[in-house]
Structure 1
């Protein structure tokens, strides 16, 4: 881990959403270990307002880990306002999810535990079906065809269909129900959760008829389900 403490801190002059803000020196900062709704998504204004009320016009202390910037050039940082650990607070209050690309990150267990408490107590955005709650095998939801996914945004359902295309990157594994993946339903497994699933899930689930249970969200104009646990996906044949 590389730690960088910026003296007395830089002033926050603008908050874009629940996990990104602008410093007076022109640098954009993306909070590490969390993910909040993108601008325009349900709950994005609530998460942004909470972070804005915390940080706007205040000086913050930034802590760097191994990776300095993301692909958009934003600083990747843990953020402190006095003794308040802002990344952790956003998860604890329910305005952001725990989100790590590296399953071995030292803070992942801590943030995951805090997220579970926030979910159980329906804090912040957990009260509005914005995030994917844990799914247990005994829960029953409406079963729909994958082509109907767009009718059920921000509802928990079970989607049935065949995985006809998959793709895996360092950050995510995509399970697609149609070759036209940009406009149709996608199942998404993030790298931090891959250890829970069968080895090479992009091969394991390809050409299988499955049922995926979860919250249907909209991402870049198309439906998706975040698959955090193998209990969410059942192979029919």
Structure 2
């Protein structure tokens, strides 16, 4: 009986987490504002804003892209220069799609939200 009480909530939590992260393509991000998603795409462009210390990665196509934002305050968590690490690499990103200046965007807050794929 005791095991059932522990296993049941764990299974419910796991099913929620798995459902919460829908895998989408970068071009579909605009249709998922407010949703928790996973995107696996190649970084097609990047730049670092001089005034705000924000690194921006673009994934998807040049016409329909998803912006991935890494703020300078959070970059210290990576213990490396993130800019050259991700450029031209296929990455997996998880997070909530936000609408910033009419563009779909995922703001990275922890290193676990972004990783390089092989």
| TM bucket, shorter chain | 0.7 to 0.9
Unmatched 5+ residue regions in structure 2? 1-16
Paired position in structure 2 for 1:151: 31
Structure 1 residue 177 displacement after superposition: 1.1
For residues 179 and 196 of structure 1, the distance between their equivalents in structure 2, rounded to whole angstroms, comes to 29
Structure with higher Rg: it is: 1
Paired position in structure 1 for 2:9: none
Paired position in structure 2 for 1:197: 78
How does 1:37-52 map onto structure 2 within 5 Å?
A: none
For residues 228 and 216 of structure 1, the distance between their equivalents in structure 2, rounded to whole angstroms, comes to 13
For residues 229 and 154 of structure 1, the distance between their equivalents in structure 2, rounded to whole angstroms, comes to 18
Structure 1 residue 223 displacement after superposition: 0.3
- Residue-by-residue CA offset, 1:73-130 (whole Å, 9 max, x unaligned): xxxxxxxxxxxxxxxxxxxxxxxxxxxxxxxxxxxxxxxxxxxxxxxxxxxxxxxxxx
SS in 1 for 2:65: coil
Structure 1 residue 184 displacement after superposition: 2.4
Contact 1:217 1:225 in 2 (8 A): yes
Is 1:236 aligned to 2:117, yes or no? yes
Which structure has greater strand proportion?
A: 2
Structure 1 residue 180 displacement after superposition: 3.8
Tell me which of the two structures has the higher relative contact order, counting C-alpha pairs closer than 8 angstroms and 6 or more residues apart: 2
Structure 1 residue 178 displacement after superposition: 4.7
Paired position in structure 1 for 2:94: 213
Which structure has greater helix proportion?
A: 2
Taking structure 1 as the reference length, what is the TM-score of the superposition?
A: 0.39
SS in 1 for 2:76: helix
Q: How many residues align?
A: 98
Paired position in structure 2 for 1:50: none
How does 1:113-128 map onto structure 2 within 5 Å?
A: none
For residues 197 and 169 of structure 1, the distance between their equivalents in structure 2, rounded to whole angstroms, comes to 18
Taking structure 2 as the reference length, what is the TM-score of the superposition?
A: 0.75
SS in 2 for 1:163: strand
Structure 1 residue 228 displacement after superposition: 0.8
Unmatched 5+ residue regions in structure 1? 1-138
CA RMSD in angstroms comes to 1.8
Paired position in structure 1 for 2:55: 173
